[in-house]
């Protein structure tokens, strides 16, 4: 009889602990989904050549390091740069989001074709890393983005 009580007691403790862990797992999953959705909105802004879709995703003090090594400081500079290219095709491959509390890192590959501000053809293939922060309001914003060119 004592063994049976011990077994049921252990199962009860395990069930309670499993239930307590579930919200933490679900929260991480929800955050990953939120950042992934933000990345997809960023992609949509490039697919439609509409940087206005990008604006709410960027922190005011966002920093971008371009694939050409330029550093852009602030939302206005990043949006101005986004307006210089006209994309005819873009896509992300191997997008991965990892959440660390109120910070998330998104990595992937950007592949795009189009024209630059001077009308010259652009054939871009870069590896990107975006750093996201979750604000007190629960909204995720990109605080840093970095592109590294890939060999074709």
The burial of 93, by beta-carbon neighbours within 10 Å (0-12 exposed, 13-18 middle, 19 or more buried), is given as exposed
Q: Percentage helix, strand, coil, to 5, in the chain?
A: 40, 40, 20
Strands of 121-134's sheet, edge to edge?
71-73, 58-65, 140-149, 121-134, 103-115, 86-100
What does the block give as tokens for 79? 């949006």
CATH code of 128's domain: 3.10.450.50
User: What's the half-sphere exposure (Cβ side, CA atoms, 13 Å) at 67?
Assistant: 16
Structural domain that includes position 131: 2-149
User: Quick one: which of 102, 100, 106, 107 has its CA closest to 127?
Assistant: 107
Full pLDDT tens readout for the chain, 152 residues:
454 443 344 434 334 334 433 344 444 589 999 999 999 999 999 999 999 999 999 999 999 999 999 999 999 999 999 999 999 999 999 999 999 999 999 999 999 999 999 999 999 999 999 999 999 999 999 999 999 999 86
Task: Give the Cα-Cα-Cα angle 132, 135, 141 (nearest 5 degrees).
Answer: 35
SS3 for 133-146 is: EECCCCCEEEEEEE
The burial of 137, by beta-carbon neighbours within 10 Å (0-12 exposed, 13-18 middle, 19 or more buried), is given as exposed
> How many structural domains are present in the chain?
1
DSSP single-letter state for residue 17:
H
């Amino acid at each position: 009889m004592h063994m049976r009580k011990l077994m049921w007691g252990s199962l009860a403790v395990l069930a309670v602990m499993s239930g307590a862990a579930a919200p933490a797992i679900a929260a991480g999953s929800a955050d990953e989904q939120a950042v992934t959705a933000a990345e997809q909105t960023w992609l949509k802004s490039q697919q439609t050549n509409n940087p206005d879709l990008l604006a709410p995703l960027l922190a005011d003090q966002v920093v971008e390091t371009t694939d050409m090594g330029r550093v852009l400081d602030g939302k206005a500079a990043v949006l101005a740069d986004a307006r210089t290219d006209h994309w005819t095709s873009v896509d992300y491959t191997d997008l991965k989001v990892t959440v660390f509390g109120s910070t998330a890192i998104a990595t992937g590959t950007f592949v795009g074709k189009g024209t630059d501000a001077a009308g010259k053809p652009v054939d871009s293939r870069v590896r990107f890393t975006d750093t996201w922060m979750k604000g007190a309001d629960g909204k995720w914003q990109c605080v840093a983005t970095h592109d590294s060119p890939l060999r074709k």
